[in-house]
Structure 1
Amino acid sequence: MGSTKQSILAGLFSIITIGILTFLTYRTEFGVFLLASFGSSMVLLYGYPESPFAQPKNVFFGHLVTAIVGLLFLHFVPLPIFLTIPLAVGFGVGLMILLNVTHPPAGGNPIIVIIGSVSFDYLLSPVISGAVIIIISAIIINKLILKKSYPSQK
């Protein structure tokens, strides 16, 4: 069970990180930086940064791989949505595991991509740009503020 301090700090740093993405999305002209699954990423990055699923490689490539899978199914698999969504999620999860870049929150990306009917530009903004920002934030906060060994040194 997590400690009170751990839970408060995880919540606080989640507010800060998602706050940065929200500010960039709604108060600047730089583009979209928010992805719903980034909220789930906060649980791992600030609650359990030692987890293999919270490591930068997993965060970045997990989000990227599953978003690509979602886009490929959306644009190139001519099936009804009730089939494309579960197929895309399954392929995305399987590919993350195969490539050793598992990041559980990214499993929702194909759903987001398909329901949102997004274009391939979505990969750059919000997927890549947002993932880079949350990874940089997690490194700064975990390493410099919380004095945790993040990313994990294997």
Structure 2
Amino acid sequence: MPMRKMSNQEVFASIVGAFFATLCASFFSNSILEADNMPMVLASTGASAMLIFGIPHSPVSQPWPLVGGHLISALIGISAYYLIPSPVLASSVAIGVAMLAMHYTGSMHPPGGATAVTAVIGGSTVHELGYYFVIVPVFFNSIILLSIAMAIGTFRETNPFVVNGSNSESWLKQSMSNEVK
């Protein structure tokens, strides 16, 4: 399926949005994490920014997959860290279980896989946060990205986050209907 072509105005809005969203998430994460652990967390945040700003109409770029995919993956990654002593095995299990969970909840968001792995191998600061890692920084970074994406969406010819006359279903219903049957 070909990607929807964006106008120059939409491309510019996407670039500005991705810049500000990543900058805000970086400042937020920097206030919580040690500098050594920040790149691990921001890798999945940056990948999410590429999706939600670069291909905003994709099913994996919608609000539920963005937030749900990261939260589910973080929970699974933290659990794998606590339950499986080998980081290599724990990371692999976290990816597989996160993919399964995202599939069945209609929240498939590929950067969520990086979030699951970050929870396992993210270092002492991430591990000290424990399950709090799901909320801070994962949930808050997702909300930062989503808020800026929704604001930037108003500068698009077709806002992927707003219900309009040609699209009567909510984004959540659309996300859930994209599941493989």
Establish whether TM, by shorter chain, passes 0.5.
yes
Larger Rg computed on CA atoms:
2
Q: Name which of 57, 66, 82 aligns with 1:75.
A: 82
| Cα distance in 2 for residues equivalent to 1:114 and 1:25 | 18
What is the CA distance between 1:111 and its match in structure 2? Answer: 1.2
Partner of 2:109: 103
| Cα distance in 2 for residues equivalent to 1:82 and 1:24 | 29
Gaps of 5+ in 1: none
Partner of 1:11: 15
CA RMSD of aligned residues (A): 2.2
| Cα distance in 2 for residues equivalent to 1:152 and 1:52 | 14
Equivalences for residues 76-95 of structure 1 within 5 A: 76-78=83-85, 80-95=86-101
Cα deviation 1:54-104 (Å, max 9, x = unaligned): 1101100000000100000001233x1221111110110111011111111
Native 8 Å contact 1:66 1:92 kept in 2: yes
Partner of 1:145: 155
Native 8 Å contact 1:85 1:111 kept in 2: yes
TM-score (norm 1): 0.84
Superposition misfits of 4+ residues, deviation over 6 angstroms = none
Partner of 1:43: 50
| Cα distance in 2 for residues equivalent to 1:101 and 1:135 | 14
Alignment identity in percent?
23
Aligned length: 149
- Alignment of 1:57 with 2:67, yes or no, is no
Cα deviation 1:12-66 (Å, max 9, x = unaligned): 321111111223344xx5x359532010111211111111111101100000000
TM-score (norm 2): 0.73
| Cα distance in 1 for residues equivalent to 2:162 and 2:111 | 19
Partner of 1:124: 135
Instruction: Rate the CA distance shift 1:114–1:152 in 2: closer, same or farther, 3 A.
Output: same
Gaps of 5+ in 2: 164-168, 170-181
